[in-house]
Amino acid sequence: TAIEETLVLVKPDGVARNLTGEILRRIEAKGYSLVDIRMVQADRELLAQHYAEHEGKPFYEPLMEFMESGPVVAMRVAGNRVIEGVRVLAGATDPTTALPGTIRGDFGRDWGLRVQQNLVHGSDSVESAERELSLWFA
């Protein structure tokens, strides 16, 4: 076994669409444990650190604007191989191709011109999880 912790964000679209409970329900149903949770109106500085790897990409600015457009719910979630597991629950980045049965596949909306409305973020590696958890749960 590999007990890990990961950062899950319910993005502003998920919060606004009242999907926070549904997303947490799926995570708990899978057997993962909620360790900590907080609602955050993220500022530019936090988001710049969170998305540092994407700086300079064409979608970076719209992504930042979207992520600061409303509150997000940040969760610290623990479980065996939870980092990979949450990303499977979330589905592919693009909601159009995310499979049915995944959060993005079931509820995601196609990318508009300016925003990336794919409902959730999940850390992509042990290193990312540690880095991101220290940002959101300082």
Q: Which is nearer to ligand DAT, 44 or 54 (CB)?
A: 54
Q: Which is nearer to Mg ion, 84 or 124 (CB)?
A: 124
- Picked from Mg ion, ligand DAT, none, the partner binding residue 114 (CB below 5 to 8 A depending on kind) is none
Report the residue from 33, 49, 80, 93 that binds ligand DAT according to the rule CB under 6 A. 93
How deeply is 73 buried, as exposed, middle or buried, from its count of CB atoms within 10 A (0-12, 13-18, 19+)?
buried
107 is an annotated ligand-binding site residue: no
Residue 3 and residue 47: Cα distance in Å, rounded? 27
59 is an annotated ligand-binding site residue: yes
| Subset of residues 35 to 74 that bind ligand DAT, contact rule: CB under 6 A | 54, 59, 63
Of 20-28, 42-50, 114-122, 130-138, which part binds ligand DAT (CB under 6 A)? 114-122
97 is an annotated ligand-binding site residue: no
Could you tell me how many residues of this chain bind ligand DAT (CB under 6 A)? 9
Task: List residues near ligand DAT by CB under 6 A.
Answer: 54, 59, 63, 93, 111, 116, 118, 121, 124
List the binding residues for ATP. 11, 59, 87, 93, 104, 118
